[in-house]
Amino acid sequence: MNAVGQPMPRTDGRLKVTGAARYSADVPLDGMAHAAIVHSTIANGRTVSIDTTSAEEAPGVVAVFTHHNMPRMNPTPEPWSHLHPHGQSYLPLLADAVHYAGQPIALVIAETLDQATYAGTLIKVEYEADQPVVFNRETAKEAVDPPPFLWPVASSVGDADEGIATAAVTIDQTYTTSDRHHNQMEPHVSTAVWDADETLTLYETTQHIFGARELVSIVLGIPPEKITIVSHFLGGGFGGKAYVWPHTLLAALAAKVVNRPVRLQLTRAQMYSMVGHQAATIQQVVLGAGEDGTLAGIRHDSISPTPVFDDYIEYAALAARSLWAAGTGIATNHKVVHVNRNTPTAMRSPHEALGHFALESAMDELAYATGVDPVALRLLNDTEIDPYSGRPFSTRAMRECLTKGAERFGWDERTPEPRSMRDGRYLIGQGMASAIYTHWRWPAKARVTVHQDGSALVETGTHELGTGTYTVMQQVAADALGVAPEKVTVRLGDTRLPASHPSIGSATMANAGASVMLAAKAARDRAIELALAGRDAPFAGAEPDDVLVADGRLVLARKSLEITYAELLARNGLSTVVGDGDYDPVEEALGPKAVFSFSAVFAEVRVDPDLGLVRLNRFVGAYDAGRIINPRTARSQAIGGIIWGVGQALLEQSETDPETARFANRNYSGYLVPTNADIPELDVLFAGGFDEEASPLGAKGLGELTAVSVAPAIANAVHHATGKRVRDLPITVEKIL
């Protein structure tokens, strides 16, 4: 039986629930000191003096660093690249300037974390403070055109404005999303260990060990081969741990100076300013359509904040480039506003989850303006050609997502009139939205070793973020080798392993997975060679293609011959056979077809009209993520993504204090994420299938797709329930009353 396609439980589940899994902060090290960062309380200005005397004298303190004595670093490299990604270009503790609240200004190293933290409170800082600039509708008027980052900043296909100007029906609305933070359960932590021979090991909370190695190498000026990055388990990444943030560099430098291992863990509050977040957006969507709902023109513009020293772009309008056909044209643009904050970063699901809220809300408004059913409207504007690149989509099961999802949800029974559905005192609302998600193709390497006992080892420098990587790689290798999954051990998260790509953009299954498949096939082929032409070759004279693998055996069915891997290796006096997998795909944008994942999602909400409370009643998500490798971990991804989207829709917002420019609610008590009580049964189904353009495994990205369009589906359901169109997330009580 194939392992791929089976709902295998996580191989590391027991380790995790028993606490045996070793996360980055759990690695025990002899002689380790602890670091605590002291951060600025102002958001703009400079430090005039930093008095560290009492801190240095406090119990247990080993060293105190400020910009006066912190070893120098090289600047972060330009241009920015996924190969050596810095979270933000500005490195603290090098000068007296302060550009954002919560910027590191001192670092205390002590015997214990408590001692370091306490000593930090004894540091006296004098500032010269200027009024900070915060992001709001007023300052958004100062938005400027940024240089391109991940994609072109603006796009124009055809003539969108013409399509809008001549349309029978137009929708022109502004939608806003809030600042949000990842709030992974596991805080960012970096443990730096220098060996006698000047090699640096970093136990790091990272989704990108190889990128971290390159960036650390560049900024600290040490050759990459002298750096090892280890990350065996992550307690959530969500994009926030994809790039290298300044604290990692500080930990490495401090460990060098104090000449012992140093562990630097951010506090929950510091995770709001020392690592990234999802920036708020102000988006304008203009749709022009015929009376039957056929789109003629789409214009989508977005403004988001970025710090004074970086040009981070939330590509919210990206989705509009490829989601629906618009006969006359599609135009998009992004602008940024420079404010006093730290640099935003990718957060599940960057760009798309923000843009789809605007675009798919606008589509619902168009449905109501034209009287066309929301599902029918999307079927009408579906396209087999990517409007942006003009390439055909490799696979696009949007229709299937729409029709299967609608059927599972019971969309037919919905009465379209707002406020027309009730359950006792509650108003019931049903809404839907679709989504498109970028597919990333990246190079990845892996090695598979088959041992004499018939077991196999997979080694690849990818990551386990909580998504089930250990399990799915086991499945992929097991099938390619023809062994039982239990026979396969997987090693991840160490730069001494074959190099892989960042575990972001939902890319791991399709890319790292492909490298594992190729490596396992290479090992299998090596074994087949031995069976055909090795010592005492059992299948001598047969063709490689005649040989099948199953149950730990090589089988020549035609002659009813078989031999186990174990026997084969023993016969050849080998302890192992090894296969290398080198997956080197063309970049998605350069391929012959446009590769994206798709979904259609359906939400039912229950609104207490007297108290303005919105709760999710049920949810159906239909996803085209290509071939599903493990339905169980895939479903878990979808559930997590939907819940993530519920947070975006109803709860999450990082509030900025207008005076101090601090994120004011920087803790779990003030920053609300959904609890179990907020989440009903979630129904997940998969449409589509094998996509050979996406990956040799046939898989497309799933994890982030599932967090997209939850918010517009809910907002559309709220409109259906109440007649109120909420264009500003999250949808809280005061917006309903």
What separation in angstroms does the CA of 213 have from each of 237, 263, 374, 463, 495? 18, 18, 48, 14, 8
Residue 701 in contact with residue 507, Cβ under 8 Å?
Answer: yes
Nearest to 520 by CA among 463, 596, 577: 577
User: Out of 214, 314, 459, 704, which one is annotated catalytic?
Assistant: 704
C-alpha span between 119 and 73 (Å, rounded): 25
Q: Give CA separation, 172 vs 362, 377, 704, 727, in Å.
A: 8, 17, 28, 12
Binding of other proteins at residue 126 (CB under 8 A)?
A: no
Which of 467/665 has CB closer to other proteins?
665
Binding-site member from 89, 452, 564, 660 for other proteins (CB under 8 A): 660
> Which member of 678, 689, 696, 725 binds other proteins (CB under 8 A)?
678
Which of 60, 655, 689, 728 forms a contact with other proteins (CB under 8 A)?
Answer: 655
Site for other proteins in 20-59 (CB under 8 A): 39, 41
Q: What Å distances lie between residue 704 and 86, 493, 645, 701, 708, CA to CA? A: 22, 21, 10, 7, 7
Listed in sequence order, the residues at least 6 apart from 410 whose beta carbon sits closer than 8 Å to its beta carbon are none
CA distance 347 to 243: 12
- For the CB of residue 351, give the shortest distance to other proteins in the complex, in Å: 26
**CA dihedral in degrees (14, 17, 21, 27; nearest 10)?**
-160
CA distances 694 to 318, 349, 584, 725, Å, are: 20, 19, 12, 37
Residue 118 contacts other proteins per CB under 8 A: yes
Rounded to whole angstroms, the Cα distance separating 55 from 121 reads 8
Q: Which stretch binds other proteins (CB under 8 A): 111-119, 427-435, 566-574, 634-642?
A: 111-119
The single residue among 89, 117, 139, 420 that binds other proteins, judged by CB under 8 A, is 117
Least separation in angstroms between CB 714 and other proteins: 14
> Whose Cβ is closer to other proteins: residue 544's or residue 658's?
658
Q: Shortest approach of other proteins to residue 615 CB, angstroms?
A: 6
Q: Is residue 423 at the binding interface for other proteins, with CB under 8 A as the rule?
A: no
Options 482, 674, 701, 712; binder of other proteins; rule CB under 8 A: 674
Candidates 248, 210, 187, 198; CA nearest to 26 is: 187
Which one-letter DSSP state was computed for residue 535?
Answer: T
- Shorter beta-carbon distance to other proteins: residue 102 or 640: 102
Size of the site for other proteins (CB under 8 A): 37
Residue 136, CA distances (Å) to 132, 334, 727 in order: 13, 16, 16
Q: How far is the CB of 322 from other proteins (least distance, A)?
A: 34
Q: Is residue 722 a contact partner of residue 434, using CB atoms and an 8 Å limit?
A: no
Among 54, 74, 81, 121, binds other proteins (CB under 8 A): 121
Kindly state whether residue 667 participates in binding other proteins, applying the rule CB under 8 A.
Answer: yes
Tell me: does residue 139 bind other proteins (CB under 8 A). no
Least distance from other proteins to the Cβ atom of residue 659, Å: 6
Tell me which of 73, 514, 650, 705 binds other proteins, using CB under 8 A.
650
Residue placing its CB nearer to other proteins in the complex, 41 or 389? 41
Please tell me whether residue 732 binds other proteins under the rule CB under 8 A.
yes
Q: Report the C-alpha gap between 206 and 703 in whole angstroms.
A: 17
- 737 counts as binding other proteins under rule CB under 8 A: yes
Instruction: Name which of residues 599 to 638 contact other proteins (CB under 8 A).
Output: 610-613, 615
Contact 87, 276 (CB under 8 A): yes
Please report, as residue ranges, which positions from 266 to 295 form the binding site for other proteins (by CB under 8 A). 269
In whole angstroms, the minimum distance from the beta carbon of 131 to other proteins comes to 14
CB atoms within 10 A of CB 306: 25
Residue type, 594: A
How many CB atoms sit inside 10 A of residue 9's CB?
A: 13
Considering only 129, 657, 685, 728, the residue that binds other proteins (CB under 8 A) is 657
**Candidate ranges 115-123, 293-301, 375-383, 403-411; the one touching other proteins (CB under 8 A):** 115-123
Measured between alpha carbons, how far is 557 from 541 in angstroms, rounded to an integer?
A: 14
291 is catalytic: no
Binding site for other proteins (CB under 8 A): 39, 41, 101-102, 114, 117-118, 121, 269, 610-613, 615, 650-651, 655, 657-660, 662, 664-665, 667, 669-670, 672, 674-678, 732-734, 737
Residues acting as catalytic residues? 704
